[in-house]
Every structure is written in structure tokens, then in C-alpha cells.
Structure 1
Amino acid sequence: MKQISILGCGWLGLPLAERLLEKENLVKGSTTSENKLSILEKAGINPFLVALESESVSESITDFLSESEILIIDIPPKLRGNQSFSTPLEMTFVRKIENLIPFIEKSIVKKVLFVSSTSVYGDENDLINEETIPNPETESGKQLLLAENILLENKNFQTTILRFGGLIGEDRHPVKHLSGKENLENPDAPVNLIHQNDCIGIIESIINQSKWNEIFNAVAPFHPTREEYYTQKAKEQNLVLPKFSSEQSNIKKVVLSKKIENVLDYKFRLANY
């Protein structure tokens, strides 16, 4: 039995906490919404109201981290896509992580799992693995990479970085937003997706096998084209088919997860996709 703190009990963090509880771990979970505290408590999670800001951190962070062996950081950057580093809000997410670091150092947390994204690789036309040099193009990708490095370089705890592809689940699928749209770009670009169930299963495997000081790409090992995949999913869900541009795709990025399959001996649950 382990004591685990999950910073960010949202779409992924909440079901992850519930799964860890099923395995008889003790779980603390944070939210920024007072209304969600009762939801966490009802699920058996020790709830905390924690706001991680670029200038400060809630006083509750100390109790949230207290007695926990493992910290899982699952908070999105929430940055405007076109924001540049020259804006007044430069490195907002990075500053949040920097503000969090001293509290981790003062706690007994020695293992950190940071949920990141394959957006740190940009859209190079290539096969991407963990040895690929990141080259983020979006603001969120740039700040995620900086946050990764800040955590990895800290010698007070061990950090594992988990870079997820596009997130999907029973209640979350991009085809619902693409349905009926026309002239969609990059019809031949391969999809790089991962299901919520696999996200949780991989995190469980990392914790159970104590795989720290690692970087893992987490993307399901099937990569049909955007046009093939979303057309088929729209048909399955009886949605208006999306229409793609006839122009050739200029993105051929395929993110590989061989390391997860080999090091963790993890089997992706393709039936859910």
C-alpha cells in the first residue's frame, strides 16, 4: 500500500485515483473547484483545494503532499495556442511548476510522475521515439518541455515523464467535434491517440514496477490516416461524416511506444479505440 498524491483530479486524474484506491493505495486528490471536493470525498479520495498559480501556491499544498511517497502531476498548461514567449504571460505554466518545486523538496515525496504530451516533438515527418530530440511548435508544447526539464534536473526526487498522444475515452472523442466539418486539413496524417483506460494502465505499471527517471511516449500502436479513422468512427456513431481537403497531407508524424511495450511489458487495449 502506498500513499499517493494526485495534483489535478480531472478527466484523467479522478478515474486514476479511483483505480489506485481499488488497489488498496491511499490517495490524496486536488481540485481547484470547491464543488468537486464532495465528489472526491465520496469516491474515497482525501480531497484538497489546491490552486497552483504562476505567482503563488495554496497553503493547502503542504498537507496535500504530507506523508505521500509519490506525486502525480496532471495539470494542463491551458495556454492560448498563439501566445508567444514575448507576451506578459510568458512561461506561466513553467512558473507554476517552479513554485511547486520547493514544496516537493520539503515533503517526503521522492517519486514524481509528470503527465506531459507528445506535442513536445512538434510535427516533423518522422518516426518519433524517446530518443528523438523534442522540437515543440506550440506554446503549450514549449512550456511542457521546459517543465519536464525542471523536474528531471532536480536531484531531490526522481521524475518519470509520460508523454501522452491525443486523449480519447468513452465520453471524449475528437470525431464529435469533426463531424460535419468540411475542408479538414491533413487527411493522410497518421493519428497518434491513446485511450483513457491505457493512460491509467500505464501509470499503474510505472508505479507497480518502480520505473523512475524515465521518459515514455504513450500512444497506441496503430496509426491509420485521419481521413480513414475519423470517417470510420463517424459511421460507427451515426454522425455526419467529416470531409477532408483533397490536398496532400504534409504531416507524417508517427509516435512510437515500443519502450512502454518493452520496458513495462504493457499491452495496449486496442478494442476500446
Structure 2
Amino acid sequence: MCRKPFRSRPNPERVPIQILIIGCGYLGLRAAHAWLERGHIVSALTRSSQRAAEWERIGIQPVVGDVLDPASLESLPTADVCLYAVGYDRTAPADKRSVYVDGLANVLAEIRPKIPRLIYISSTSVYGQDHGETVNEDSPCVPISEGGEICLAAEQLIRQATGADFRSCILRLAGIYGPQRLIARVEQLRAGTPLTGNPEAWLNLIHVDDAVSAVLRLAEQDSFGPLYLLSDASPLRRREFYAGIAELVGAPAPVFVAGGETGLNKRCDSTRIRHELNWELQYPDAVATLRTLF
């Protein structure tokens, strides 16, 4: 049985804050629910009028607009915190760099005078280490994939915009997983379709509920660093992870073939965020967590 998404306890004594979410998808929507349950006011940007109506019914104040259309962003509200978690929609006509870099620049130009704090969701793809090295916030970033280069360019925009009146925190997320996130892989394993890539390469993951929990903690903190790496406490081999899924769903053992993305063989150390924010992972081990998902 799938575990329910992250839920925080309502706190009637908590002073409501206003939150704007740009990118209210797999992570952002769960954060929105958690903030609403805490009594906060949540607005979110969407390109879809239908989705806007759905959000309005659950208490999210929708803003219909597009990060690539600056005029449509003028109606973004003032807020105390902005969570920026835009993912790439492969069905959209715009290319990834335009969405991640140009779209972010448009949003920053609009919200910087309105919102004093930004939590930006980035990716560990900014690290180019590919020989099993351990990386953390101090490790050099020399991405070897186009996606990593684009994420790093977006991070640079955040740093340039940050100042005394606009504080930001970049969260570099490992591969995010959770309920309904592994369906394609399950179908692939059941069909016996080979997985591409090195089965002995290190895999770094973060459960969506832990990602939400970290975002909520950051939104409440007065003191925080400019950058955190967010991964669970147990990097594991790709073979181990997919073998665990296969066993749980009754699929044959995974078969791997050469190919796939590079830059997928490093070990992420997320000690800093746990120590500095006095925050703990709910799901430190992905293999142990799999049984809660199937």
C-alpha cells in the first residue's frame, strides 16, 4: 500500500505566512497541501485554466500565467516566501534552457521587489564527478551533461539576484522518488525491458516527503545557508535499487545494457542541511522505503 503524502500537523498558534509556488507539480503541490494544513496562504502559478480551477477548490489561490511570458507574471502576488520548483514539460514547445534560465530570469525580475525569500529547487546534475566520488556543497561543479549546465546557469541567476533585501537558498535535489513516481520503471521491469546504464554506478535519491519537509523547514528558518545538497543518507548501487523494486512487484531481476546518461556515478553527502537546520530524514534508506510504495 502506498504511504500517504507528507502531512504536517496543523498549528493554530502559528502566524499565517503568504507563500507563492512557481512550479506546483510533484513536489510543489505536496508542499502546498502541507502549508495549507498549517494555516498558511498559498498562491501558485499555472499555465492551465483547468488546473487553476482544481487548485481553487482545494484552497490554493491560482495565477494563470507562463514563466516565458513576462506580461502574464505581473499579477503574481506579494508573499513572504517563494518556492521555485519548475520542472521541464517535454510536451511544451519551449526548450529546456529557455524554461529553466529565461523563465527564471523573467520571474526574478517580477518577484524580487515583492518577495524577500526564495527557495530554489535545483539538481545534483550540476556535479560532473563520475567515478564514485563523494560530493557536497563545497565540491566543484563542472557538469558533463546539458541538463547540468542549464541547472548551473540557473543557479548563477539566483546568486546574482540575491542581496540584503532578497535572500535565497538553492536546494540541489538528488533523484526524487515516492508514490506514483516509479510507475514507468515498474512496467519496464515487468516487461523484462533492459535498463540502460552501469548497474554498479552509485545512485542518489530523496523521498518526496523528505524534500517537502526540508522545504517547509527552510521556509520557517530565520538563519540558513545559501546552498544545500539534499539526498538521503544511503547512496546505493543502481542494481540494488532496481532489484529491490523487481522483487516487490514480482518482476524478473533487472537486466542492464550500456548507454544512458553520464554523470550518474557519484555519492551525495547531505550532512550539512541536517546539521545546520537540526532536521532529520524520515526516509534515510531508499531500499528499506520501497516496501511502503508497493
TM-score w.r.t. length of structure 2: 0.81
The reply on whether 1:181 has 2:193 as its aligned counterpart is: yes
Q: Secondary structure at the match of 2:181?
A: coil
The change in CA–CA distance for 1:122 and 1:177 in structure 2 (over 3 A counts) is farther
The change in CA–CA distance for 1:253 and 1:182 in structure 2 (over 3 A counts) is same
How far apart in 2 are the matches of 1:257 and 1:134?
A: 16
How far apart in 2 are the matches of 1:239 and 1:210?
A: 47
The reply on whether 1:139 has 2:152 as its aligned counterpart is: no
1:21-170 → structure 2 map (5 Å cutoff): 21-53=36-68, 56-59=69-72, 61-64=73-76, 66-77=77-88, 91-92=97-98, 93-107=100-114, 109-125=115-131, 126-154=133-161, 155=163, 156-170=165-179
The change in CA–CA distance for 1:89 and 1:193 in structure 2 (over 3 A counts) is closer
- Cα distance, 1:182 vs structure 2: 2.3
Unpaired runs of 5+ residues, structure 1, are 81-87
The change in CA–CA distance for 1:90 and 1:67 in structure 2 (over 3 A counts) is closer
Q: Secondary structure at the match of 1:116?
A: strand
Q: Is the 8 A contact 2:18 2:79 kept in 1?
A: yes
**Residue of 224, 231, 249 corresponding to 1:237:** 249
Q: Is the 8 A contact 2:130 2:263 kept in 1?
A: no
Q: 69-78 or 35-44: which moved more?
A: 69-78
The reply on whether 1:257 has 2:270 as its aligned counterpart is: yes
The reply on whether 1:268 has 2:285 as its aligned counterpart is: no
Runs of 4+ with deviation above 6 angstroms = none
Cα deviations by residue, 1:218-251 (Å, 9 ceiling, x for unpaired) = 111112211111111111122343212599x996
**Amino acid aligned to 2:271:** K
- Cα distance, 1:24 vs structure 2: 1.1
**Amino acid aligned to 2:70:** V
Task: Show the counterpart of 2:180.
Answer: 171
Unpaired runs of 5+ residues, structure 2, are 1-15
TM-score w.r.t. length of structure 1: 0.86
How far apart in 2 are the matches of 1:74 and 1:171?
A: 18
Q: 10-19 or 176-185: which moved more?
A: 176-185
The change in CA–CA distance for 1:199 and 1:90 in structure 2 (over 3 A counts) is closer
How far apart in 1 are the matches of 2:272 and 2:151?
A: 21
How far apart in 1 are the matches of 2:213 and 2:237?
A: 26
How far apart in 2 are the matches of 1:105 and 1:251?
A: 34
How far apart in 1 are the matches of 2:196 and 2:150?
A: 27
How far apart in 1 are the matches of 2:147 and 2:187?
A: 21
Q: Secondary structure at the match of 2:26?
A: coil
**Amino acid aligned to 1:97:** L
Aligned-residue sequence identity (percent) comes to 25
Q: Is the 8 A contact 1:158 1:212 kept in 2?
A: no
